[in-house]
């Protein structure tokens, strides 16, 4: 196991005058506690593979940092990917990647844990390993190398980067990091240098629920097709189950949110009010893999907000979840915060995840008492037909009522977010986005002459463990054509600003989202040729990805643009998000038949599988649906009958694979 090394700060300090934003690297945030690097403790380095200002607000790493540092057998620090200027200087000076708190080298830690929230950061993982002097591939690491692991939503299909990871954590991390620490502490105490010692530790880790060790599995192919991913040793389960916390009340973290010394994104107090979602939006991986819903008690939310605001000095709090307006008693909680009865001073409240069918005049009025924060609504699709396909069951009237509530309370500008490239999408559906945008501006101008909106359009990427995991993604050319339709349609609408995500980046995201282990050499080649910070538009390099695929004889159409069949083995079939595969397939067929499926939080269970085995059925504080919870316009919202297989090509092949 690694030995404790001293801080590199004396060698690093003089370099910071030569880089942009040196405050990224100095640490010293309010909330950092003294750390004891006793050699007997398991040392964790928690990494966000992007810049400090993007990664610092990540609540997952902050929560795990606190939990680990409260343990007597662990110590945890953080690191972020150095920007290209500092990375070049570190290599030139022979200095390694370091922790932010104490500036210890990455190799001084026993385990490096990456948070993977987006596929385009995969090359940054390799950048961090290389800067840390750690072999890129798990197979090349020895007894003195740290263990490399990852968690986060992307790890529900870690196969494209499986060769680089020693183990992966599926699901909630609060409990499992303690069990991993115990295994590593035992190995550290043993101090074995035997050639098979590392393999023995990995086998013990594989027996922990929620831990996946890729090297203990074999991927089997026949031609282009993946036919199996099977365990090689008895300790490796045939199906790796995710970890699920039963009760958020037991984990009131972070207790001491970090307050940075420099500007970061989302620079405010963040308090998670619930985890999971049962709305059933078929495009949304987060809503599927985080089931079931678990609410934090309202009193605990109020306490976390009051104490957090008092300690940090922030005057804005974000109540976070996948759909914050669905939180039971949200109006009362917001009222207590903005009036100062809970927080001590007048503060503003941000609800980052707003469902338009749960946003009311009452909520709008409460939010606007202090500084108005931004409002973003996500209709996702431009027509009711399309919203039935994706199961985003909000009507035009739901949207118009929500924006009218906001404009009436003083907002003059807001954002609408849409997806394009969804299954069965037609040009009429695409142009429906423009129609909704115009109508929203018209509503706004009844209240304010200068009312306007920003329409943001992202290309849809099918994700694992969603009903759309079988869908062939639109090509970049097709996405560009659809964006062109919108741009032309909205050209003369001065109250509407149109923004869109680069279709080329959407292609690479899709490649990594549903790829298999054969993509590891592609990721490595892109990194070796300078492809870092691929999520940053100024660094994104599509040609590197195209060339790497060609050099390794891999087809972009095979991985990204073709439709999958029901009997196809998917690269993540040996992993479990708690959802029955046959449930997802039936929901896919229901989507093609344009059948909506109501929220099971307020209706009978549809047995997706998420609640099985956790002692959780429906963890909600109230059996009353949220106010304003319209379920569309009266069309059939129940589970549809089985769709004939013959319908699938009719629904999807009108313009070719990935273009429907």
How far apart CA 21 and CA 80 sit, in angstroms, is 13
pLDDT, average across residues 206-225: 97
Residues 6+ apart with CB under 8 A from 50: 80, 81, 121, 124, 533, 535
Greatest distance between any 2 Cα atoms in the chain: 75
CATH topology of domain 9-238: Rossmann fold (3.40.50)
Query: For residue 3, is pLDDT > 70?
Result: no
What is the signed CA dihedral for 92, 95, 96, 102, rounded to 10 degrees?
A: -140
pLDDT in tens, 348-406: 888 876 777 777 667 777 776 656 667 889 999 999 999 999 999 999 999 999 999 88
pLDDT, average across residues 509-518: 98
pLDDT in tens, 15-27: 999 999 999 999 9
List the Cα angle 200/201/206 in 5-degree steps.
Answer: 100
* Coarse DSSP helix, strand, coil percentages of the chain, rounded to the nearest 5 percent: 40, 15, 45
Residues 6+ apart with CB under 8 A from 365: 409
Query: For residue 655, is pLDDT > 50?
Result: no
Q: Are 184 and 141 in contact (CB under 8 A)?
A: no
pLDDT of residue 370: 57
How far apart CA 596 and CA 391 sit, in angstroms, is 5
Domain pair 9-238 / 374-511+578-597+630-660, same fold:
no
Q: Are 226 and 516 in contact (CB under 8 A)?
A: yes
Structure tokens that stand for 571 in this block? 């690269």
Q: Mapped to the 3 state alphabet, what secondary structure does 378-437 carry?
A: EEECCCHHHHHHHCCCCCHHHHHHHHHHHHHCCCCEEEEEEEECCCCCCHHHHHHHHHHH
Q: DSSP 3-state assignment of 59? A: helix
Q: Are 52 and 80 in contact (CB under 8 A)?
A: yes
Looking up tokens 């002097």, which residue turns up?
Answer: 133
Q: Are 183 and 204 in contact (CB under 8 A)?
A: yes
Sign of CA dihedral 610, 616, 621, 623: positive
Residues 6+ apart with CB under 8 A from 13: none
Least confident of 63-67, 337-341, 393-397, 538-542: 337-341
pLDDT of residue 119: 97
**What is the model's pTM?**
0.92
Of 348, 361, 363, 352, the closest CA to residue 305 belongs to: 348
More confident residue, 85 or 344: 85
More confident residue, 198 or 654: 198
How far apart CA 81 and CA 65 sit, in angstroms, is 18
pLDDT, average across residues 538-566: 98
Structure tokens that stand for 85 in this block? 């200027």
How far apart CA 230 and CA 233 sit, in angstroms, is 9
More confident residue, 640 or 143: 143
Half-sphere exposure of 636 (CA within 13 A, CB side): 10
Query: For residue 499, is pLDDT > 90?
Result: yes
pLDDT of residue 329: 81
Q: Is 10 exposed, middle or buried (0-12, 13-18, 19+ CB in 10 A)?
A: exposed
Q: DSSP 3-state assignment of 222? A: strand
* Structural domain boundaries in the chain: 9-238, 374-511+578-597+630-660
DSSP run (H or E) holding 576: strand 575-576
What's the first-to-final CA gap in the chain, in angstroms? 53
Structure tokens that stand for 641 in this block? 């009958």
How far apart CA 471 and CA 513 sit, in angstroms, is 12
Least confident of 332-336, 457-461, 517-521, 655-659: 655-659
How far apart CA 520 and CA 115 sit, in angstroms, is 18
How far apart CA 534 and CA 624 sit, in angstroms, is 44
Residues 6+ apart with CB under 8 A from 323: 277, 279, 353, 354, 355, 358
Looking up tokens 């398991």, which residue turns up?
Answer: 42
pLDDT of residue 372: 62
Helices (H) and strands (E) in the chain, counts: 21, 19
Q: Are 355 and 279 in contact (CB under 8 A)?
A: yes
pLDDT of residue 611: 82
pLDDT of residue 218: 98
The pLDDT-based confidence of 627 (bands split at 50, 70, 90) is very low
pLDDT of residue 345: 60
Q: Are 350 and 383 in contact (CB under 8 A)?
A: no
Structure tokens that stand for 213 in this block? 């060790």
Cβ neighbours around 581 below 10 Å, total: 14
- Residues facing residue 319 across a β-bridge: 271
Looking up tokens 């991985």, which residue turns up?
Answer: 559
How far apart CA 224 and CA 226 sit, in angstroms, is 7
List the Cα angle 359/364/365 in 5-degree steps.
Answer: 145
Of 564, 603, 602, the closest CA to residue 581 belongs to: 564
Structure tokens that stand for 319 in this block? 């109540």
Q: Are 46 and 65 in contact (CB under 8 A)?
A: yes
In eight-state DSSP terms, residue 372 is P
pLDDT of residue 558: 97
pLDDT, average across residues 520-546: 98
The average confidence (pLDDT) of the chain is 89
Q: Assess if CATH 3.30.750.200 describes domain 374-511+578-597+630-660.
A: yes
Structure tokens that stand for 626 in this block? 């949220």
pLDDT, average across residues 278-282: 92
Query: For residue 648, is pLDDT > 70?
Result: no
């Amino acid at each position: 196991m690694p030995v404790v090394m001293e801080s590199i700060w004396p060698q690093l300090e003089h370099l910071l005058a030569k880089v942009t934003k040196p405050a990224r690297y100095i640490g010293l945030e309010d909330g950092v506690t003294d750390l004891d690097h006793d050699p007997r403790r398991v040392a964790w380095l928690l990494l966000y593979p992007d810049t400090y200002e993007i990664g610092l607000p990540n609540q997952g790493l902050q929560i795990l940092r606190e939990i680990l540092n409260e343990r007597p057998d662990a110590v945890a620090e953080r690191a972020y990917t150095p920007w290209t200027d500092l990375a070049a200087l570190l290599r030139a000076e022979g200095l390694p990647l370091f922790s932010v708190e104490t500036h210890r080298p990455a190799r001084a830690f026993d385990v490096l844990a990456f948070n993977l929230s987006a596929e385009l950061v995969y090359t940054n993982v390799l950048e961090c390993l290389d800067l840390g002097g750690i072999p890129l591939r798990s197979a090349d690491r020895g007894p003195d190398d740290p263990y490399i692991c990852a968690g986060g939503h992307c790890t529900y299909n870690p196969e494209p980067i499986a060769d680089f990871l020693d183990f992966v954590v599926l699901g909630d991390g609060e409990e499992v990091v303690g069990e991993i620490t115990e295994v590593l502490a035992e190995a550290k105490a043993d101090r074995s240098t035997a050639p098979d010692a590392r393999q023995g530790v990995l086998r013990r880790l594989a027996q922990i629920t929620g831990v996946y060790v890729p090297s203990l599995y074999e991927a089997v192919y026949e031609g282009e097709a993946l036919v199996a991913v099977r365990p090689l040793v008895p300790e490796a389960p045939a199906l790796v189950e995710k970890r699920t916390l039963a009760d958020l009340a037991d984990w009131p973290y972070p207790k001491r949110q970090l307050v940075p010394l420099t500007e970061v994104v989302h620079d405010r107090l963040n308090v998670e009010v619930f985890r999971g979602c049962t709305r059933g939006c078929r495009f949304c991986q987060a809503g599927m893999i985080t089931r079931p819903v678990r609410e934090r008690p309202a009193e605990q939310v109020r306490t976390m907000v009051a104490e957090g605001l008092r300690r940090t000095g922030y005057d804005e709090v974000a109540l976070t979840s996948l759909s914050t307006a669905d939180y039971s008693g949200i109006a009362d909680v917001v009222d207590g915060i903005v009036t100062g009865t809970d927080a001590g001073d007048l503060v503003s409240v941000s609800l980052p995840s707003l469902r338009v069918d749960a946003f009311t005049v009452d909520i709008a009025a409460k939010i606007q008492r202090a500084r108005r924060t931004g409002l973003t609504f996500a209709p996702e699709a431009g027509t009711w037909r399309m919203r039935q396909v994706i199961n985003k069951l909000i009507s035009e009237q739901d949207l118009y009522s929500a924006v009218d509530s906001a404009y009436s309370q003083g907002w003059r500008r807001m954002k609408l977010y849409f997806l394009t490239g969804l299954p069965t999408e037609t040009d009429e559906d695409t142009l429906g986005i423009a129609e909704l945008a115009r109508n929203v501006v018209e509503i706004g101008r009844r209240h304010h002459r200068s009312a306007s909106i920003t329409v943001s359009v992202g290309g849809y990427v099918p994700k694992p463990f969603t009903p759309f995991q079988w869908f062939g993604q639109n090509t970049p050319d097709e996405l560009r054509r659809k964006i062109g339709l919108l741009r032309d349609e909205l050209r003369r609408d001065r109250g509407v600003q149109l923004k869109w995500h680069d279709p080329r980046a959407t292609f690479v995201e899709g490649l990594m989202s549903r790829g298999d282990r054969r993509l590891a050499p592609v990721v490595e080649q892109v990194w070796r040729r300078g492809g870092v910070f691929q999520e940053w538009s100024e660094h994104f390099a599509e040609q590197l990805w195209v060339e790497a695929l060609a050099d390794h004889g891999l087809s972009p159409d095979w991985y990204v643009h073709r439709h999958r069949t029901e009997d196809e083995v998917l690269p993540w079939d040996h992993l479990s998000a708690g959802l029955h595969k046959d449930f997802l397939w039936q929901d896919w067929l229901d989507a093609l038949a344009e059948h909506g499926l109501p929220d099971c939080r307020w209706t009978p269970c549809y047995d997706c599988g998420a609640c099985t085995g956790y002692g959780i059925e429906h963890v909600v504080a109230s059996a009353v649906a949220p106010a304003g919870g319209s379920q569309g316009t009266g069309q059939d919202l129940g589970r549809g009958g089985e769709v004939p297989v013959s319908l699938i090509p009719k629904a999807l092949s009108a313009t070719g694979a990935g273009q429907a």
